[in-house]
Every structure is written in structure tokens, then in C-alpha cells.
Structure 1
């Protein structure tokens, strides 16, 4: 009979994996929209807060992200309303490139809103997180030639920042 030794690290990893099973990968779909089409307030799920604590990722931690892995190094980039798969270009705490970030894009307002709900490191499992894409000086602002349901942006890379709730 083989005895499996359980270490605290293994138990924490198992707990993290169990809590991530019910987490959304691309948003809840229950976000109220503001009159301009941008998403309203949304709580960060407790499972994501636990996972971020375990990973030692804090609110405000940030890095760089390619907004759409299907349009790497494209300028300008066209984002579509709905699910998005992005890729880290820099470390975000222990998450290293090319960790994938899964989230949702809203294109209804004057600026694109991107919220991330899960991260998947290379060779690893998806982990719930809460993060947003941001650029200074209005650079997530849509170009005027953006059609409904799309947003044309000048840059394919943005900052990604950890949050504890979506505002």
C-alpha cells in the first residue's frame, strides 16, 4: 500500500483548484449596463479573492498584456464585444508570460472596458482573478470609425491591473 504524504502546499493547491471549478471564465453575463453601454459595478467573486491571496497578487499589481492573442502586434487593433483571450507580456506577480487572461470586452461607451475573470499559466490550470485593462490619457478610447459592437484602438497592448471589485 502506497502512502501519499500531504504537504501544506499540496493541500493549498488542491483547495485552490476546487474553488476555481465554479468560476466564470469570461464574465458573469449579469452585469448591469449604464446608459452609455459600459458595464456597471460588479463584485469580485470570493473564489477569485482567495486565489489572488494564495498567489500573493495584490490590488494595484500590474503588468502589460496583449489585448487579443489573435491580433498580436497589430496596429490598430479591432476588439469585438464579448469574450476575449489576452496574453501577459510581463509578469503579474507569479504569473509569467505567456499566461492567458480570459475576460470580456464591452464596446458600448466612448472607451473600451475589459474585465478579466481568469488566468491560465502555461501548462497550468485556470485560476479565477479580477483584473482590468487600462491605459493612461484615454488610450482605450475607441476610434470614431468603430462600428457598433466593435472598438478600434490604436494600440494592441495595454496595462493590466488587479482589482478587488469592478467599478
Structure 2
């Protein structure tokens, strides 16, 4: 009986002097890996145009059907993106998202990016459907607009030629 008691106290004393494995979460945060997938973000070019061209490939790639993209024609005088189209409606339902990163891989212009931010809790379900206003990056990135990515539109050859 005494032998078991001494053995238990020895285990307790060893654990008492061991380095703590817990952290004080709100004040201290553990570093995340470089490949961590958190909150979604839509990037912009350095000139302020959105990188998203409304191709809807991210919507098709999403296995959880969490992304909704509705594209519209881009106005040449006041463009939203460098292409012919832009995403007029871009929503991500964070309640359905499984943070797999397939949407990020499918994006041809690298407009969609998963950040390191992981604190996404909210009190209402409506606030967890992120619209374009919450997804668009407010900071300009160092991503440069490639030269001649989109050649000038000259009409459809078979239909517009007369």
C-alpha cells in the first residue's frame, strides 16, 4: 500500500517540475505551419483591381458547395478586374467550408488565398456567410499585373466578321 502511494507521489512530483505543455491562449498563440489554411481572402493587384475574373472554377472545385460566384461583364471605363468579366457576387459559407484548399488550387489568377487567420467564431449564422466586402483584401499586394495577359478583344471571328 505504501509502495503504491510513494510511486504515485513520485509521478506527481516529476510532472510538477516538467515544462508546461499548455499556453495562455488569448495572450499567447502557438505558431502555425506555413501550409495552414484559415480564412479566405480575395487579393487585389497593386493598381487596385481585383484579381478575381469570375471564372467560377473555385465554385466547381469546392466539394462542400460552400462558394457562390455570379459573374458579370466588366465595364471597360470602370473595371473591377483586368478581364472581360468580374465576380459580381462572391460568397463563401464558412459553416459549410471544410478548408481543404481546393478552391485556392483551382484559381487560375491566384486571386483566392487562404490566410493564417483561424478565429472565425460569431454569434449569428448570417455573419458566417462571407460576402465580397469581407473577403476582399484591403491591402494592396506585391503581385504585379503580368503584361499582355489578356489580349485586346477583337470580336468573335466567325460571328462578328462581316
State the TM-score, normalized to the length of structure 2: 0.25
> Greater helix percent: which structure?
2
State the TM-score, normalized to the length of structure 1: 0.24
Greater Rg over alpha carbons, structure: 2
